[in-house]
Structure 1
Amino acid sequence: MMEMRMRNASLAYRAVPIGLGIAATFCLPQAAHAASTSGLMPVSALSLAACVVVPTPMVFGTLSQLDGNPNDSSALVTVTCTPGTTFDVGMNDGLYASGGVRRMKALLTADYVEYRLYSDAARSVPWGNVIGTNTVSGTAGLLPSVMTVYGRVPGSAPLAPLGSYADTVTVTVTF
């Protein structure tokens, strides 16, 4: 019987800590959720004007100057800007201009071929680099703006010696 009492006492001592642990859990302060409040978090962004310009090459091909007729060509300039952005597209005189006349230079000699760039198909409105005078302006929409550049080697230009000719024109978008 003594053995049984000791066993019961041992169980009782073991049960007390477990019981106290459970009781303590219920006695600990618990967070009460009796009310709530809300706040407003402002969210904003700023879209700045930005533009990208991508011109295609203008290739006049083989010049046939002996007949006195001009040699015409065209190229495209694609301008993509933030919608609503107003812009002007200008073109400088190229690398080899002289006296305000654009010229292509022969690759192997010091010879030149004159050419002109225009903003209209009739080739009557020169395309230059002075905003408000000879640039092309626009306002960006949701789609890119595609403009045609019309080029001409005048039939009255001096005959070009044999060879390949090239120039580089810088296209600038001001916004």
Structure 2
Amino acid sequence: MNRSLVSLAFTGIVYLLAHGAPARAAVYTNGSATAQMRVQLTILPGCTIAATPMTFNAVQGSATGPMASTSSLTVSCTATTGYNIGLNAGTVPNSTETDRLLAGALSGNTATIPFGLYQDAGYATPWGNTQGANTLSDSGTGAVKVHTVYGQAMLSATMPAPDVYSSTVTATVYF
């Protein structure tokens, strides 16, 4: 056992001699000089946006009138950065920002269901994609802000064929 302790100590001494012991910094007393080092970080204006799906309740049998649903837009912008949120017409042909359409997924189903997207729960302010006209304006705080999208689908007395009706609307944050 003593032999292994001596061997271990010898190995440590050989390692220190081969790699050198840590050097100590010298101390100088002839004087000193200084310089200023600027440290800088630039924050550029920026925003991110995410959207949750809007799903209307399923309808069985016949129903007429408006159906309501909501979605959330999560926006994060740098502090004091002004922004607008726009929603386009969606992916269904012939949809416009003021007359959006949901289309069926089954082959041969050409029926559509009209729907609207609004900035308020009273459905008074339509939500579009034209800055200065029908987008929602706000200013960033550096933290996440959540904006609610209010949706309203209109069912007429003539019910379309059973199907899943949908559209994909693109939300854009302009900053």
* Equivalent in the alignment of 2:104: 106
**Worse-superposed segment, 59-68 or 42-51:** 59-68
Please give the secondary structure, in 2, of the residue aligned with 1:126: coil
CA 1:42–1:151 in 2, change beyond 3 Å: closer, same or farther?
Answer: same
* Equivalent in the alignment of 1:149: 149
Q: Give the conservation status (yes or no) of the 8 Å contact 1:65–1:155.
A: no
Structure 1 consecutive aligned stretches of length 4 or more whose deviation exceeds 6 Å: none
**Number of equivalent positions:** 146
TM-score by length of 1: 0.76
* Equivalent in the alignment of 1:84: 80
- In structure 2, stretches of 5+ residues that fail to align are 1-26
TM-score by length of 2: 0.76
Work out the CA distance in 2 between the residues paired with 1:125 and 1:157: 26
* Equivalent in the alignment of 1:44: 40
| Residue 60 (1) aligns with residue 56 (2) | yes
Q: Give the conservation status (yes or no) of the 8 Å contact 1:117–1:152.
A: yes
- In structure 1, stretches of 5+ residues that fail to align are 1-30
Superposed counterparts of 1:128-139, under 5 Å? 128-139=128-139
Work out the CA distance in 2 between the residues paired with 1:94 and 1:67: 24
CA 1:32–1:147 in 2, change beyond 3 Å: closer, same or farther?
Answer: closer
* Equivalent in the alignment of 1:22: none
* Percent identity for Structure 1 against Structure 2: 32
Aligned-pair distance for 1:161? 2.1
C-alpha RMSD of the superposition: 2.2
* Equivalent in the alignment of 2:66: 70
Between structures 1 and 2, the one with greater helix share: 1
